[in-house]
Structure formats: C-alpha cells, structure tokens
Amino acid sequence: MSTRRAAGFTLVELIAVMVLSAILALVVWRNISAPIRSFVDLQRRAELVDAGDTALSRMNRELKLALPNSVRVAADGTAIEFLRTVTGGRYRAQAAPSGGGPILDFTTSSGSFQVLGGLPNGETVRSGGGGRAACLAGSVDCVVVFNTGQPADCTGGAVGSRTNAWCGDNVAGLSSIDLATGTLGFDRADAGTPLPFPSAEQRFHVVDTPVSYVCDGGVLTRHANYPIPAAMSVPPAGGTSARLAGHLESCEFTYVAGTATRAALVTIRLRLSDQTPEGETETVTLFGQTHVPNVP
C-alpha cells in the first residue's frame, strides 16, 4: 500500500519570504524614488516656465504696439498700462502743387486729411460719430498726433495744449475713413479745441483700446476694451478681462522712458511657484525686456 507525502511550506518559511520581499522592495524603492521625484519636479518646473514664458511672449508682442510714450506703471510695480495702436502713418502737411488730398489742419477741431503712403490694416479701424467723447469711451478708434506723454499728470498743464493722450488734448475721434483715396476724418469739436501740435515727422497713430496687465491674488490678468482714463486705476473699470497666468508669487514691471538716442524700455519680472505633495515649494523666476517706440 502506497503512502501520500504532504507538500507545501511552513509558516516560518512564509514569514521569511515576506520579510525578504519587504527588504528587497525597500532597497528597490530607495534606488528608484529619487529619479521618479526628479522627473515629477522637472515636469512641475517645466509647467511653471511654460506658463511664465507664454505670458512674457504675449506681453512682449502687445507692448510693441503701444502708442509712443503712452506706457505707464503702477506705483508698486504690479501693473502696466498702455494705449494700443492698430495702424498709423504720415499725414499730408502741405498742399500738393497739383492738388492732392486735404492737409491735416491744426487750426480746426474737425476735418479730414490724406494719408501718405497708405494705411496698413485700415480695414480693421472703427469710425463713426460722437467726436472725442466717443473715442475716449471706446465706441470709435482715436486719432493721436504728437504724443510725448507730457505732462505725466493730467491735472497739470494748460487744457488743450497737453501732448499726453491719456489727458485727451491730442486725441480726436475717427469720424470717417476712405481707403480708396487714403483720407481719414477726425472730430474733436466736442472738446472745443484743435489738435495742439503737429508732429515733426508728420506722424499720426490710430488707437483702438487701452490695455492693462495686472498682477493680483497670484494671477496675471489682461484687461482691455475699457474707456481711456486720465489717471491709472488698478484694476481698470469696465471692459473685458482674461487670465494670462496663475501660480504667481510676485511680479514687477518697470518702465524707462526713451531718449533722443534710444527707445524706451519695459522690463518684466515674473516669479511663479507651486507646492509639491510633500509641502515643498518649487519656484522659477523669468525676466523679459521689451523696447517700445518713443518717437511721437
């Protein structure tokens, strides 16, 4: 008669295997945890850099469209504001011997003038009635001539002679546009004064909206399509807003006015941070510079 032998493992063997497996798992985890954490940290850092770089690129592109000498920065450096141009060119200052189009007359508060050399993006501008008030309210685009940004404070200087577009003296509503003849109509009759000074290079600009970038509550926000204010308000009243970047720990805007030998300079410093699951803080700092035009 044959006997059947029992096969298996004892409780002691099971416990020994579990202990050895735990030791091996601990050794393996200690070897691979650092690379895994490095990968996660690198990904988090890359996301912060991408968010900051995207914001810097957007601001850089739009700042290049700023009306010369219209950039202003909040006292604490957390906001920047400027008037955005959609087009511009040179106006006819003297009548042509053979006739030609109308000249820009600086003795009248409304009229029309011929653009020399064409008007880029002319089909995108908004024209209509309402004079300067409509332009400042954002209903129509604004014609601006010889903007020096002076005086910086609109409460100073004689009304009607200030060459700071925020003050409104060198601004007129765009009343009409004829691309076929290259003629623009302007109107500031409601202001009761003509455009104060001609441009030495016969330049004019067409502005469509003020734009602000504001850092507040860890978020960088873009504001636009609000009325043109004489004094800077943070955040601006009215208009539209869009979130540009989050995870913002701090930001700083600075503006250095241009001179006769160099363009104006805007510097932007963004500091973004994010917290790891372990409670540690990952931080990146990005710095950007933009040269903006300053020839009125």
- Supply 101's token pair: 């189009």
Residue range 222-235: mean pLDDT, rounded: 97
Q: How confident is the model at residue 194 (pLDDT cuts 50, 70, 90)?
A: very high
pLDDT at 135 over 60: yes
The tens digit of pLDDT for each residue in 266-289 reads 999 999 999 877 777 889 999 999
- Supply 282's token pair: 């990952």
Verdict on whether the full-model pTM lies above 0.85: yes
pLDDT at 170 over 90: yes
pLDDT at 22 over 70: yes
Residue range 222-244: mean pLDDT, rounded: 97
Q: How confident is the model at residue 234 (pLDDT cuts 50, 70, 90)?
A: very high
pLDDT at 11 over 80: no
Question: Hey, which residues does 264 pair with through a beta bridge?
Answer: 292
Length of the chain: 296
What pLDDT sits at residue 33? Answer: 61
Q: How far apart are CA 284 and CA 259, in angstroms?
A: 33
Q: How far apart are CA 186 and CA 180, in angstroms?
A: 17
Would you list the domain boundaries of the chain? 45-81+210-292, 83-208
pLDDT at 293 over 70: yes
What pLDDT sits at residue 37? Answer: 66
Contacts of 45 (CB under 8 A, 6+ apart): 282, 284
Q: How far apart are CA 48 and CA 248, in angstroms?
A: 9
The tens digit of pLDDT for each residue in 147-166 reads 999 999 999 889 999 999 99
pLDDT at 36 over 60: no
Q: How far apart are CA 35 and CA 33, in angstroms?
A: 6
The tens digit of pLDDT for each residue in 55-99 reads 999 999 999 999 999 999 999 999 999 999 999 999 999 998 877
- Supply 261's token pair: 């030998």
